[in-house]
Amino acid sequence: MAGLSLRCGDCGTQLRSVEEAQAHAEATNHANFVESTEAVLNLVCSDCGKPCRSQTEVDLHTKRTGHKEFADKTAEAAKPIDLDAPLKPASTEEAMDVDAPASSASGEPQEMVVPEVNKEMLADLEAMGFATARATRALHFSGNSTIEGAINWLSEHQEDADIDEMPLVPANSKTEANKPNLTPEEMKIKAQELRERARKKKEEEERRMEREREKERIRIGKELLEAKRIEEQNERKRLVSFLLFVPAHAERRRKLGLPPEDPATSKPSAAPPVEEKKSALPIRPATKAERMRDCLRNLKQQNKMKRMRHGSYQDMSAHDLDDDAKVKRAFQTLLTYIGNVAKNPDEEKFRKIRLTNATFQERVGNLHGGIEFLEVCGFEKLEGNEFLFLPRDKVDKAILNTAGAELNSAITNPFFGVL
């Protein structure tokens, strides 16, 4: 959105045009201006027609005159700032150093008079308790534009030694006010400086916001990595405890004089008829999605169990990255198979997989759960278990979409299969 005003970054005064910004800069030496999408208020008194540029001016006008009805004509008066418009020539009164000795071209001293300021704003400042000299000086040096600008100038210069002295300007400054002290080229350069300053301010703010967003992304990433590390560490501890429990259990049986536990009879079978009599609730069969999720979870967990059975606990951390890469590659290979069938259900080459294929065996076949996952998706073993084949009439897009979603979750979710 185009800017509707220029805001002074030093005192907060809002200005309607580049000309007002130039006058404010020359009166106050403020140079930090930025474009603002907030229009300068234009609250017009319904009784006397006096325009007020802020709520403070409205309150002071009401206190002095008793007028309470104001019409908000901000939207009518608001218009985009034209930064390419030629600047108004600075007057001699603004360019001169007030209170400094002045002399005419002939070298004779000039008559010094009090500068003219907005009488209504002067009365408002006096009603607020400021002395006439101090209020006049504040209005003159703040550009004689707004009450807020004058008050901000007073807060910045209240320690000045001459704060209570009446400012003086040459008596003939009004006749010399129409003499420009800037050439058109200089005006154009100054307008360009204002535009460039506003652009740099905006770019600096955008860079600051981007740095804040990057810091937040880094913080969240670190927290996720730390949570994943803790979960994997806890999983390794649980697996090690399980593996250590088995020989300890056998050792306790030996010390108690009990015979070694027979694996075939170690787990007493529950009596299904008794359990069925105790519960009349039907057992919900596992859905396709749950069976797929179990296959993928077993593929990930059994791969780690296999590595722990054949290696030492101290060597596990060194192989974590390779194991995770193998599991992820298996998931991605399965996703490729499922995606090819979903996109080309009529192509038999995508619905037929040779089990003895070296690449298939390396990536999927030798990992527990890979072939079972394909069978859940509808693949069947043919010709003496040499091929996996998905008949055309058994291609179910819904099942394939579910398989793709489960594989995508297993690939992208860092905590998949931890619990």
Find, among 217, 60, 190, 182, the residue nearest to 128 by Cα.
60
Do residues 193 and 109 touch, judged by C-beta distance below 8 A? Answer: no
Residue in the block written with tokens 């694996």 = 263
Strand, coil or helix: 303: helix
pLDDT of 310 reads 54
Please report the pLDDT score of residue 121 as a whole number.
86
What are the structural domains, with CATH classification, of the chain?
287-311+320-419 (1.20.58.2190)
Q: Write down the pLDDT at residue 214.
A: 92
Which 8-state DSSP code applies to residue 179?
S
Residue 371, burial from CB neighbour count under 10 angstroms (0-12, 13-18, 19+): buried
251-239-308 Cα angle (round to 5):
90
Per-residue pLDDT at 109? 61
The tokens describing 399, both together, are 């099942």
117 vs 115: CA distance, rounded Å: 6
Both structure tokens of 269: 């079978």
56 φ/ψ sector (left φ>0, alpha ψ -120 to 50, else beta): alpha
What is 365-402 written as a DSSP string?
Answer: ITSTTHHHHHHHTT-EEETTTTEEE--GGG--HHHHHH
The 10 Å Cβ neighbour count of residue 18 is 23
How is residue 106 written in tokens? 């002939």
Residue 381, φ and ψ in degrees, nearest 5: -85, 135
The token duo for 240 is 């090690």
Return the H-helix or E-strand segment holding 335: helix 316-343
pLDDT at 43: 85
Helix (H, G, I), strand (E, B) or coil at 239: helix
What pLDDT shows up at residue 278?
A: 47
For 54, phi and psi rounded to 5 degrees? -160, 165
- Rounded to whole angstroms, how far apart are CA atoms 74 and 55? 13
Which pLDDT score, from 0 to 100, does residue 306 have? 61
| Helix, strand or coil, per DSSP, at residue 112 | strand
Consecutive 10-residue averages of pLDDT for the chain (419 residues): 72 78 76 78 85 80 84 79 57 43 52 83 86 88 81 81 82 49 68 79 90 92 92 88 72 72 55 49 68 85 64 49 78 90 89 88 84 89 84 89 88 69
Residue entry with tokens 């390419």: 84
Nearest Cα to Cα of residue 63 among 78, 80, 45, 75: 45
**Distance from chain centroid for Cα 165:** 52
Q: Phi and psi for 46 in degrees, rounded to 5?
A: -70, -20
Structure tokens at 162: 């001459």
Q: How far apart are CA 384 and CA 203, in angstroms?
A: 69
Measured between alpha carbons, how far is 13 from 25 in angstroms, rounded to an integer?
Answer: 11
Determine the 3-state secondary structure of 284 from DSSP.
Answer: coil
